[in-house]
Chain A
């Protein structure tokens, strides 16, 4: 059982709208650890696997997202989420596939 913590800047143009939220929660749900997200170091911390909660943050572009996880795959979980946000939710991949 381990804990992990990470922060990442979200540069996504429209912030946490439906598409990025779906991707984020889908990714989080793939890990067994309990995972939480906050838009400030002191919280409030919300369940990162819940799209209801994630969308409710309405986090805009340039928000620093905080992820903390507790469980066997905690480190992998926060790293994966940070990578997703840092890659701008894989928008580049989608645009490349389209073009």
Chain B
């Protein structure tokens, strides 16, 4: 084992993880352990089938020009002429991935050698389809990733995170990345230790790592003493978590007896599996964009309806607030979000995109209205900038309700509220009176107020410096809410940061929605605040 190496990065998600080190972002370099030719043959057949299925799903969502090239890739994958050398190699004992790569590389070389620009360009498509099949052969990394592994690399995509099984432990170490990125939010929600921005590091030869998410420390190839030291840290963290867990089953109340509603933020029914509905006051935010995950087909009305119903069933009589599709910005979805914007954070995203894409928005509205008949549903619009957007969205909603009535389909009218994340409504909430409730999206609000991107390590620190300003805006919004008699809550990451809870509660906020993993510590923090003092 090589000597231990200590790395220092930024904390992104607390907790200690210790396990085998697995490099990510390099799936294509991982080799497959070959089975018998019969197995390899089966594996390649299945991988090609999966690749074709993935491409067919893509075609269903993209414009005509893109579809032409995807159709070409599908035709190539279906052509036995392409895979023939692979089958022959497999019969002589070659692993499926090596055989496949060699077969396609022959074609790639042929296209590359062409004098025609067009054919040379097609070499890129061949590389694309070659790699797509290889990813399926190496099991998307999940077959090669042992339980409890520490994933290490430049970055980890949200879909990679969601596909990984974290139940036996594991952690993430990134050379780049940011603690306010989407993957970091997911890691905190699931309680997966994560450290970002450790900088350039040489991971070659290291097979094990310890990650201490709270301090940002990482140790590669730790010696026994180091392992013991971190075991103590982990034990202390567990102790603290056990104390906080005492608060989990009780409603959150401040030291002076003021009740505070604590709800949870989720991306879908999967997030609810490990949570007892009795430990929270409802779902304060369901992020529907994870239903529209990049690479899968856009979900239809029926699919969405089923998912929304699952959430409402789980919550019983407790409120469930679902946010309509918030795509764009750092959440691109191919075939839906605009391409080529120079500044996606200030571009066509959230409600702006939905109002432009009624073909996607209306099915979502219908699914929500139908689901509302079965539970306590609230719906909110993301990224509202102008009162006109609220009016237009509500009008579209009414049109769909009329259509449902005409079709004799059961529905109910949920309360329609809005996210406060664009600075405009945070500064002048009284101009947005058409909204029936407000939920403060502190993640984006902080970015816009500080004019600093959360995925830019160079300015990330500015976010912390405008918190006092945010608290002032929160106070203004809470006061407006009391005056008008409407609910104001906060569903951004800020609500889960125990250091800020006292100030938020003093601002007059009485409703927080947090990552499920933060429930216990948030309730514990609420109990420690005395508003009368």
Contact = CB atoms under 8 A, between A and B. Distances in A.
Nearest to B75: A51
A10 to B, nearest CB: 16
B383 to A, nearest CB: 33
Counting chain B CB atoms within 10 Å of each CB, which of A18, A19, A21, A26 scores highest? A18
Interface string A46-60: 010011110110100
A53 B81 contact: yes
Contact of A58 (B69, B80, B82, B114): B114
Contacts of A26: 75
A47 B81 contact: yes
Nearest to A25: B75
A interface secondary structure, majority: helix
B69 A51 contact: no
B72 A50 contact: no
Interface residues of A, number: 16
B interface secondary structure, majority: helix
Interface in A2-30: 14, 17-19, 21-22, 25-26
B72 A56 contact: no
B75 A21 contact: yes
A26 B79 CA distance: 11
A51 B110 contact: no
Interface residues of B, number: 19
B116 A18 contact: no
Given A50-B81, A52-B79, A56-B110, A22 B72 contact: yes
A52 B68 contact: no
Contacts of A53: 81
B79 A14 contact: no
A26 B82 CA distance: 16
Interface in B437-485: none
B34 to A, nearest CB: 25
Nearest to B107: A52
B81 A18 contact: no
Nearest to B84: A52
Nearest to B111: A55
Contact of B68 (A19, A25, A50): A19
Nearest to A98: B64
Interface string B105-128: 001001000101011001001000
B74 to A, nearest CB: 8
Contacts of A56: 110
A52 B118 contact: no
Interface string B229-256: 0000000000000000000000000000
A14 B81 CA distance: 24
22 contacts: A18-B68, A18-B72, A18-B122, A19-B71, A19-B72, A21-B75, A22-B68, A22-B71, A22-B72, A22-B75, A25-B75, A25-B79, A47-B81, A50-B80, A51-B78, A51-B79, A52-B81, A52-B82, A55-B119, A56-B110, A58-B114, A58-B116
Given A26-B75, A58-B119, 19 more contacts: A14-B118, A17-B118, A18-B71, A18-B72, A18-B125, A19-B68, A21-B75, A22-B68, A25-B75, A47-B81, A50-B80, A51-B75, A51-B78, A51-B79, A52-B81, A52-B82, A53-B81, A55-B122, A58-B116
Closest 3 CB pairs between A and B?
A: A18-B72, A52-B81, A50-B81
